[in-house]
């Protein structure tokens, strides 16, 4: 693949607004709540794809991401970032004949968001070294994003992280992974809902006075620094298959905010031969309904067992339509959907455990069912396993009728002290807090 000089990112809401990779990462979102999108999607030839087979994960990552970082990193610089970021395994596990689970949960917070969060933290670390001052990363979280960001950014020099989470509305285990960290990571327990947290963060980004006094960015999946590295593991999974399996492959993605699926579609756009993607969803079916009817109608999310997918207005949806040039027919040709209720999720966890000896988490179970629903004879299916079953041990143990082992790291976190600051859902209080701690 030829390196194009200076890849730029445009605002999906205003194509004339273009910035470098560096600026898009430092800004998080574009103006008017727009998302950044690469102006060109590089394509790999067949030979180049086949050549990925012998690479280890960090080298493969550097090859996939090479064109996207523009002039902001040298090849050696990018390789170093990928070595640091992709430092945990992503195994492709055969669950049954021609059905594989891609285990994305072996990172520090035991969920797939570690991939994006680790890459973003390595990138921001280097950018902060070039700036005269600190970068403040703001995250509103209902659980999983905050844990991944807290773990990935812990003790990263030049970066301060402020996490906002709704008091009493995240699980005990999630709260511990959010608040058992100290130093440069500060957890704010907001007396309000997740939407209140998100509102406060959005207000901070829109505050010009604040922008003039500090460098603020977002670690939510709208940031291209979190979104792009997620394309890597689609190539990685493909490169693990044999030739015949590679030829007729479908991939099922358990989805909530649709960053993961958009990243898979980017990989396909880059030339990865995937026959079909499945948008596997719990009953929060805004995107399945769009695929069915062509109409996008956001609504209030409802609570399910796969709670990291309880999203009523997925922020990355616009990236999917952008990839397909807003052509609904083209989208439905490549993206199918499957909607799963909680009973079905429970049943799948129980059955796959007893019949195949493989333990799914509720999100992976949704992915598995979507994969099975669309797999045709002779095809190979991959579903993404996005969280370690131990993160949802109550549900999982109930389904499989057995205990599961909680990994040592998580066990340690559970024993640590909660370290958060209670705060009203009030912007002036929040702003004061942000300014007080900055230099």
Ligand X SMILES: *Cc1c(COP(=O)(O)O)cnc(C)c1O
* Binding stretches for ligand X (CB under 6 A): 111, 113, 144, 221, 254-260, 308-309, 363, 386-387
Cα–Cα distance, 264 to 232 (Å, whole number):
9
Specify the pairing of strand 135-140 against strand 92-96: unpaired
Is the Cβ of residue 70 or residue 381 nearer to ligand X in the bound state? 381
CB of 394 to ligand X, least distance (A): 15
- Pure H helices in 86-221: 113-130, 144-153, 172-179, 194-205, 208-213
Q: Strand, helix or coil at 383?
A: strand
DSSP assigned state of 298: -
Is the Cβ of residue 160 or residue 346 nearer to ligand X in the bound state? 346
Is the Cβ of residue 173 or residue 425 nearer to ligand X in the bound state? 173
Is the Cβ of residue 8 or residue 269 nearer to ligand X in the bound state? 269
CB 328 within 8 A of CB 294: yes
CB of 258 to ligand X, least distance (A): 5
CB of 255 to ligand X, least distance (A): 4
Query: Which strand ranges, in their side-by-side order, compose the sheet holding 8-11?
Result: 14-20, 8-11, 36-38
Is the Cβ of residue 222 or residue 425 nearer to ligand X in the bound state? 222
Specify the pairing of strand 8-11 against strand 159-166: unpaired
CB 149 within 8 A of CB 219: yes
CB 184 within 8 A of CB 178: no
CB of 284 to ligand X, least distance (A): 11
Is the Cβ of residue 70 or residue 256 nearer to ligand X in the bound state? 256
Strand partners, 139: 163
Is the Cβ of residue 111 or residue 156 nearer to ligand X in the bound state? 111
CB of 261 to ligand X, least distance (A): 6
Is the Cβ of residue 98 or residue 363 nearer to ligand X in the bound state? 363
Is the Cβ of residue 113 or residue 160 nearer to ligand X in the bound state? 113
Cα–Cα distance, 418 to 173 (Å, whole number):
11
Cα–Cα distance, 375 to 250 (Å, whole number):
7
CB of 295 to ligand X, least distance (A): 20
Cα–Cα distance, 239 to 246 (Å, whole number):
8
Is the Cβ of residue 85 or residue 308 nearer to ligand X in the bound state? 308
CB of 16 to ligand X, least distance (A): 28
Query: 400: which 2 tokens?
Result: 């499989």
Rg (C-alpha) for the chain, rounded Å, is: 21
CB of 256 to ligand X, least distance (A): 4
Return the H-helix or E-strand segment holding 16.
Answer: strand 14-20
CB of 436 to ligand X, least distance (A): 31
**If you count DSSP H runs as helices and E runs as strands, how many of each does the chain have, helices first?**
21, 14
> 146-177 b/e with 16+ CB inside 10 Å = b?
bbbbbbbbbebebbbbbbbbbbebbeebbbbb
Is the Cβ of residue 258 or residue 368 nearer to ligand X in the bound state? 258
**What are the DSSP calls for 104-141, one per residue?**
---STTSBTHHHHHHHHHHHHHHHHHHSSS-EEEEEE-
CB of 19 to ligand X, least distance (A): 23
CB of 335 to ligand X, least distance (A): 13
């Amino acid at each position: 693949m030829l390196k194009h000089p200076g890849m730029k990112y445009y605002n999906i809401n205003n194509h004339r607004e273009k910035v470098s990779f560096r600026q898009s990462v430092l800004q998080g979102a574009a103006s008017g709540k727009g998302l950044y999108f690469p102006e060109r999607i590089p394509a790999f030839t067949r030979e180049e794809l086949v050549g990925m087979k012998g690479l280890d994960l960090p080298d493969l990552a550097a090859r996939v991401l090479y064109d996207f970082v523009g002039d902001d990193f040298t090849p050696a610089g990018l390789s170093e970032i990928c070595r640091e970021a992709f430092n945990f395994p992503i195994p492709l596990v055969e669950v049954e004949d021609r059905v594989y689970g891609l285990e994305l949960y072996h990172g520090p917070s035991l969920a797939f968001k570690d991939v994006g969060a680790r890459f973003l933290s390595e990138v921001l670390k280097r950018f902060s070294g070039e700036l005269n001052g600190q970068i403040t990363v703001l995250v509103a979280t209902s659980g999983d994003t905050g844990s991944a960001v807290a773990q990935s950014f812990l003790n990263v020099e030049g970066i301060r992280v402020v996490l906002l989470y709704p008091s009493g509305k995240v699980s005990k285990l999630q709260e511990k992974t959010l608040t058992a960290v100290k130093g440069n990571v500060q957890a704010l327990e907001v007396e309000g809902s997740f939407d209140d947290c998100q509102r406060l963060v959005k207000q901070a980004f829109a505050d010009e006075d604040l922008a003039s006094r500090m460098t603020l960015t977002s670690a939510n999946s709208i940031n291209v620094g979190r979104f792009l590295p997620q394309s890597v593991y689609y190539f990685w999974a493909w490169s693990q298959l044999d030739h015949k399996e590679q030829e007729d492959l479908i991939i099922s993605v358990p989805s909530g905010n649709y960053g993961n699926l958009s990243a898979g579609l980017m990989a396909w756009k880059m030339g990865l031969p995937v026959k079909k993607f499945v948008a596997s969803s719990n009953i929060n079916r805004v995107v399945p309904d769009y695929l069915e009817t062509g109409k996008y109608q956001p609504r209030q999310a409802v609570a399910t067992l796969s709670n990291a997918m309880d999203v009523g207005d997925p922020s990355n949806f616009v990236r999917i339509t952008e990839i397909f040039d807003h052509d609904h027919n083209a989208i439905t040709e490549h993206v199918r959907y499957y909607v799963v209720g909680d009973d079905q999720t429970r049943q799948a966890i129980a059955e796959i455990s007893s019949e195949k000896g493989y333990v799914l988490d509720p999100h992976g179970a949704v992915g598995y069912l979507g994969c099975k629903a669309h797999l045709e004879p002779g095809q190979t299916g991959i579903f993404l396993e996005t969280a370690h079953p131990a993160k949802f041990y109550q549900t999982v143990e109930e389904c499989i009728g057995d205990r599961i082992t909680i990994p040592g790291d998580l066990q340690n976190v559970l024993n640590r002290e909660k370290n958060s600051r209670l705060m009203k859902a009030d912007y002036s209080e929040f702003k004061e807090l942000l300014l007080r701690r900055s230099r």
